[in-house]
Structure 1
Amino acid sequence: MDYRQHFDFMKHRNKFFAASASLLMIGIIVIALFSMNFGVDFKAGTGLDIGVGQTVTKEKAEEIFASIDLKPAIVSIGGNNDHISARYDAILTEEQIKKINTTMAATFGAQVSQEVNTVSPDIAVELGLKAIYAVAISCVFICIYVSLRFEWRFAVAAIIAILHDALVVIAMFAIFRFEVNLPFLAAVLTTIGYSINDKIVIFDRVRENLRFSKVKTSDDLSNLLNNSIWQTMARNIYTVLTVLLAAGCLFIFGSESIKLFALAKIIGLASGAYSSICIASPLWYLLKNKSLSSKTRANVVKE
């Protein structure tokens, strides 16, 4: 079936590149000016997750902390409005933590529970470096895998698109000042793993179509790539929607501790579906088209 009557992705590739570049540039500017909103996992300090067993407002929680001169940098309410999350940029002493627990118990009763997460400056730096190493190593192995299974052009296009997906998640969290913590890192890594799946599906169809097509010009290559995208479109949409539904349910119905993880997954999944079609495929087209042009010039010289 000829899919040329559908939307021509290759024709509009520069618009896709410009849109992605604009978003990433905004993210870079925000990071340069304001940095990321690092959570206690990547920033030295103490995080408290306090279950009070009854409905509580943010104003009430802030009032309690202020009454004991231990006002945190960030206060949020989670769960069924019965959990208080507090983040301190400084490391609290055992006496201060005990004072908070005693005050909460006096206010809400004996059902109060408290979870403490303290990260020292050295551990914060170590976690940050390990996060960078994890992303870099995963990208290297994906590049090797794609190179062995396909060819280097597919690998280059896939890696650039995967990095695009990771950077989109980072940019969105920077722009909207969402907290960056270990669940966020897990979401970025799973986004990288999932993103390559969409790209492999399209690239596999491209490789298959190349076997039975005579590609001599840029138009031939563009038509082949557009056809391959549309032939795999239904499968990609169904797959993405299924996973997005699961991530959406986690975001809506999940606990406060996994909401940002689910949000990062939603952004990453959407970006992965977009980049597979609008970034990775056009990049491969540009690389392959360059080799076609080289072969054409070589044939002209021989003649």
Structure 2
Amino acid sequence: MGQTRFNFMRYGKATLTLSAVLVVLSLISLGVRGLNLGIDFTGGTLLERQLGRPATADDVRQVLGSAALAELDLAGAVIQPLDDPHDVLIRTRPLSNEEIDRVDTALRQAFEGVEILRTELVGPVIGAELVRRALLAVVLAAVGILIYVSLRFEFRFAVAAVVALLHDAIIATGVVSALGVEVNSPFIAAILTVIGYSLNATIVIFDRVRENLQVRKGESLAELLNRSLNETLARTVHTSATTLLVVVTLFVFGGSTLRDFVLVLLVGLLVGTYSSMMVSNPFWWLWKEREERRRGEASPAPAR
């Protein structure tokens, strides 16, 4: 890809406005609809079973969604195949002993027998611990980013990077809320992955901005940012395209077990690529430009 000459900052204020609207809509969805919390957060029943023949997660899901178990509402169950192809771990809403017996009967009929390896009740305290650790991870990541980017670049770059990360996490979570996707521990991993990807893309661009600032000669800040974004555009597009190809492949062929996790990655990848270019940079530009304007107004007028 040759050197492009797009005027990105021409749309900087518009993209910041669009991002603010998306963040507000995401927060409204979270406030009104909330999140569809899964067993990791709400508690439930854990069933570890050895089946009479090898089975995939989709095979087990078909049995749980069959007419015989329809009234049990097991559509949200998390099914995890284990090392032995005969073994499967099923996490679902709290079930009574009678309901567990019905599940075992259905599995026995479908897979030529079933052996009970483990049955446990998982309390919601595990979910509270996951939430606490996730929030702590995000806070520590934001503080670490502020310190690292401030030392390597400047404080304004650090704040702009954190704004972009929060933007990505809020919008990705808002999409999950709006679509009613079930939220379990893989969701936390996906959000942290999105944050890492977005930060990496933002730092690459900021590094070029810093280099260009050191040799700035008569350019306005908007012109300098446009040049920096155009110089890194090929790298941004190639990285995003190759990553997007892998994520879309997983979404299409990864099966239902991975689909919710990959959906968060897919939304986060798109939003993160956008924010690394059109949120963090315009945010820094407007802040920096305002400071330079204030310094210019505070400087004494030259004597005539």
- Cα deviation code 1:222-259 (max 9, x no counterpart): 10111100010001111111111222222222243222
Cα RMSD between the aligned structures?
3.1
Pairing partner for 2:92 from 87, 93, 112: 87
* Counterpart position of 1:65: 69
Q: Which residue of 1 aligns with 2:275?
A: 275
Secondary structure at 1:260 match in 2: helix
Residue number in structure 2 paired with 1:241? 241
1:279: how far off?
A: 0.2
- Which residue number corresponds to residue 229 of structure 1? 229
Equivalence map 1:124-163=2 (5 Å): 124-163=127-166
| Alpha-carbon shift at residue 201 of structure 1 (Å) | 1.0
Counterparts of 1:289 and 1:49 in 2: how far apart (Å)?
60
Structure 2: give runs of 5+ residues left out of the alignment.
82-87
**Deviations along 1:98-118, whole A, 9 cap, x unmatched?**
442133212442279998785
Give SS of 1:46's match. Answer: strand
The AA in structure 2 aligned to 1:130 is R
**Residues 53 and 112, structure 1, Cα contact 8 Å, conserved in 2:** no
Residue 301 of structure 1: how far off its partner (Å)? 4.8
2:256 aligned partner: 256
- Structure 1: gaps of 5 or more residues: none
Following superposition, the deviation at residue 84 of structure 1 comes to: 11
Report the residue type matching 1:16 in the other structure. T
Asked if residue 285 in structure 1 is aligned to residue 285 in structure 2, the reply is yes
Secondary structure of 1:139's aligned partner = helix
1:204 aligns with 2:203: no
User: Does 1:28 find its partner at 2:32?
Assistant: no
Indicate the residue corresponding to 1:123 in structure 2.
126
The alignment status of 1:300 with 2:300, answered yes or no, reads: yes
Is the contact between residue 78 and residue 255 of structure 1 (CA under 8 Å) also seen in structure 2?
no
In structure 2, the partner of 1:193 is 196
Please say which of residues 117-126 and 229-238 is displaced more in the overlay: 117-126
Contact kept in structure 1, 2:26 and 2:173, CA below 8 Å: yes
What's the secondary structure of 2:92's corresponding residue? strand
Deviation at 1:161? 0.5
**In structure 2, C-alpha distance between the alignment counterparts of 1:257 and 1:202, rounded to whole Å:** 35
C-alpha distance in structure 1 between counterparts of 2:63 and 2:238, whole Å: 43
Structure 1 window deviating more from structure 2 (39-48 vs 167-176): it is 39-48
Q: Secondary structure at the match of 1:41?
A: helix
Shift of 1:191: 1.0
* Per-residue CA distance 1:29-62 (angstroms, 9 max, x = gap): 2221121111111122236698784968859834
CA 1:112/1:246 → structure 2, altered by over 3 Å: closer, same or farther? Answer: farther
Q: Is this contact kept in 2: 1:62–1:75, CA < 8 A?
A: no
Check 1:57–1:239 CA distance in 2 against 1; reply closer, same or farther (3 A cut): closer
CA separation of 1:60 and 1:117: change in aligned 2, threshold 3 A: closer
Amino acid aligned to 1:124 = G
Cα gap change, 1:148 to 1:100, in 2 (>3 Å): same
In terms of mean alpha carbon deviation, does 115-124 or 47-56 score higher?
47-56
**C-alpha separation between the residues in 1 aligned to 2:141 and 2:193?**
10
CA distance, structure 2, for counterparts of residue 187 and residue 17 of structure 1: 24
Identity within the alignment, %: 37
Alignment size in residue pairs: 290
Residues 132 and 78 of structure 1, relative CA distance in 2, 3 Å threshold: closer
2-side partners of 1:269 and 1:183: how far apart?
Answer: 16
Deviation at 1:94, TM superposition (A): 5.7
- CA distance, structure 2, for counterparts of residue 236 and residue 163 of structure 1: 20
